Amino acid sequence: MTLPLPGPAPGLLRALPQYGALAAVLLANWLLFPDFFSIRLQDGRLFGSLIDVLNRGAPVALLAIGMTMVIATRGIDLSVGAVMAIAGAVAATMTQAGWGLPAVLAASLGAGLLCGLWNGLLVALLRIQPIIATLILMVAGRGVAQLITEGQIVTFVSPGLAAIGSGSFLTVPMPVVITAALLAVTALLVRATALGLMIEAVGVNRLSSAGAGVNTPVVLVAVYVWCGLCAAVAGLIVTADIRGADVNNAGLWLELDAILAVVIGGTSLLGGRFGLLLSVVGAAIIQAMNTGILLSGFKPEFNLIVKAAVLLAVLLLQSPALTLLLPRPKGARPPLGPPLGPPLGPAKRESGSVKP
């Protein structure tokens, strides 16, 4: 048996629960619906259930990208759903008022940045606890969006804006392309610079990091601003997709899905180490599940229960306490007799170092 090495475990091995869960959910979908993996071209655009998973999962994946970094700093951003609504409202209202696409995009993303800045300042400078600081915008943000649209669904006609939601690039749906691009940019931003290290350091121990010279307020503001931007992009996609800003429903409760995606992806709510790609995988797991439920033909009354059960299974797979239920290493408790069986799957054993 190969022993997990100390230090950073090989990426794939550490991510086994996530990829395993994704594979399992996809497999279950395939069993429920044999055409699940079939893909064809439709009007120059990939078309199939698997594509739906990626396409519909894009907003939560985008939120999860921003949320991952916020959570890595030991924060949380409850306002992302409301920020989506604001960004969508800005885009739809301005388009309806006749503004051009560049101005609309700039204003909408700008609104997201501004929201992020607000959150970041509350957390970093006023030192309000993140859950409370962002709760303010979560509650007020939707009101702001309602003020912008005057409480109505603002629809628009703009092929350019609509393309962001339902267009395609080289046959791949635009939301998927945008998400991939933002993931790449974000990964580059944090991993090709020292930002990632600083985010993790701040999340693990803000005092120590500040003492070592890390500019903690700037790091904190930066992650909330980026999170706001990601939320604005998600809001644009949702709005562009239905060609209208539905502020009462756009992004409603999606902050919870985003947090869930991050947690499924293995980033701890206590901050520290984070994995962007795995959060996106987490979002994909959630959406694969949603799409699976829709395809399955279950009664809608079961949706939430099925979802909860699957999530519980995924999270249990990652639970550190689960390793306690596994057979103990040999010799731990002599009276217990021999171990009950080989340890399951990737669960790490505490002992097993090879003596020199």
Partner 1 sequence: MTPYSPQPSAPLLAIRGLSKAFLGVQALDGVDFTLRHGEIHALLGENGAGKSTLIKTLTGVYRRDAGTVALEGREIAPRGVEEAQRLHIGTVYQEVNLLPNLSVAENLFLGRQPMRFGFVDRGAMRRRARAVLSGFGLSVDVTAPLGRFSVATQQIVAIARAVDMSAKALILDEPTASLDAQEVAVLFGVLRALKGRGIGIVFVTHFLDQVYAVCDRITVLRNGRLVGERRTEDLPRLDLVAMMLGRELEAAAHRIAADPAADTQAGTDARPPLVRFRGFGKARSVEPFDLDIRPGEVVGLAGLLGSGRTETVRLVFGMDRADRGEAAVDGRTLRLRGPREAIRLGFGFCPEDRKKEGIVGELSVRENIVLALQARQGWLRPIPRRRQEEIADRFIRLLDIRTPDAERPIQLLSGGNQQKALLARWLATEPRLLILDEPTRGIDVGAHAEIIRLIERLCADGMALLVVSSELEEIVAYSRRVVVLRDRRHVAELRGGEVTVDRIVSAIASEPVPAGPEGAPA
Partner 2 sequence: MSRNWLTSAATAAATAMAALLIGLGSVQAADGKLVVGFSQIGSESGWRAAETKTAKAEAQKRGIDLKISDAQQKQENQIKAVRSFVAQGVDAIFIAPVVATGWDAVLKEAKEAKIPVVLLDRQIDTKDQSLYMTAVTSDTVHEGRVAGEWLAKQTGGTCAVVELQGTVGSSPAINRKKGFDEVVAKTPGMKIIRTQSGDFTRAKGKEVMESFIKAEDGGKRICAVYAHNDDMAVGAIQAIREAGLKPGKDILVVSIDGVPDIFKAMAEGEANATVELTPNMAGPAYDVLVAFKKDGKAPPKWIKTESALFTPDTAKAEYERRKDAY
Task: Tell me the closest approach of the beta carbon of residue 208 to partner 1, in angstroms.
Answer: 5
Of 300 and 335, CB closest to partner 1: 335
Partner in contact with 56, chosen from partner 1, partner 2, none, beta carbon below 5 to 8 Å by kind: partner 2
Is residue 277 within 8 Å of residue 176, measured between CB atoms?
Answer: no
Would you give the binding string for partner 2 spanning residues 277-296, x where CB under 8 A is met?
-------------xx--xx-
Taking the CA atoms of residue 296, residue 298, residue 302 and residue 307 in that order, the dihedral angle to the nearest 10 degrees is: 0
First to last CA, the chain: 18
The DSSP symbol for 173 reads E
**Site size toward partner 2, by CB under 8 A:** 41
132 Cβ partners below 8 Å, 6+ apart?
none
Is 33 a residue that touches partner 2 (CB under 8 A)? yes
User: Which range touches partner 1 (CB under 8 A), out of 94-102, 112-120, 144-152, 209-217?
Assistant: 209-217
Rule CB under 8 A: is residue 318 a binding residue for partner 2? no
Stretch that binds partner 2, among 20-28, 208-216, 236-244, 271-279 (CB under 8 A): 236-244
User: Tokens for 103?
Assistant: 């101005």
| 47 interacts with, out of partner 1, partner 2, none, CB within 5 to 8 A per kind | partner 2
3-state secondary structure of 175: helix
Spell out the residues 6+ positions from residue 101 whose beta carbon is closer than 8 angstroms to its own: 95, 158, 160, 161
Binding status of residue 299 toward partner 2 by CB under 8 A: yes
Q: Which does 107 bind (CB under 5 to 8 A by kind): partner 2, partner 1, none?
A: none
Single residue of 197, 304, 308, 344 touching partner 1 by CB under 8 A? 197
| Closest distance of CB 214 from partner 1, Å | 5
Instruction: Say how far apart CA 83 and CA 106 lie, in whole Å.
Output: 15
For 331, residues 6+ apart whose C-beta sits below 8 A from its C-beta are none
Helix, strand or coil for residue 194? coil
Report how far Cα 204 is from the mean position of its chain's Cα atoms: 20
Beta bridge partners of 41: 46
Stretch that binds partner 2, among 16-24, 42-50, 113-121, 261-269 (CB under 8 A): 42-50
Could you tell me if residue 137 is left (phi over 0), alpha (psi between -120 and 50 degrees) or otherwise beta?
Answer: alpha
Q: Is 355 in the site for partner 1 (CB under 8 A)?
A: yes
Q: Which of 52, 77, 200, 255 binds partner 2 (CB under 8 A)?
A: 52
Q: Among residues 104 and 247, whose Cβ is nearest to partner 2?
A: 247
Binding mask 215-254 for partner 1 (x = CB under 8 A): x---------------------------------------
Exposure pattern of 308-321 as b/e (b: 16+ CB <10 Å)? eebbeebeebeeee
Residue 348 CB burial class (10 angstroms; 0-12, 13-18, ≥19): middle
Residues that bind partner 2 (CB under 8 A): 33, 35, 42-43, 45, 47-49, 52, 56, 139-140, 142-144, 146-147, 150-153, 155, 166, 238, 241-244, 246, 248-250, 290-291, 294-295, 297, 299-301, 303
Residues forming contacts to partner 1 in the complex (CB under 8 A) are 3-8, 192-195, 197-198, 200-201, 204-205, 207-215, 272-273, 328-329, 331-334, 348, 350-353, 355
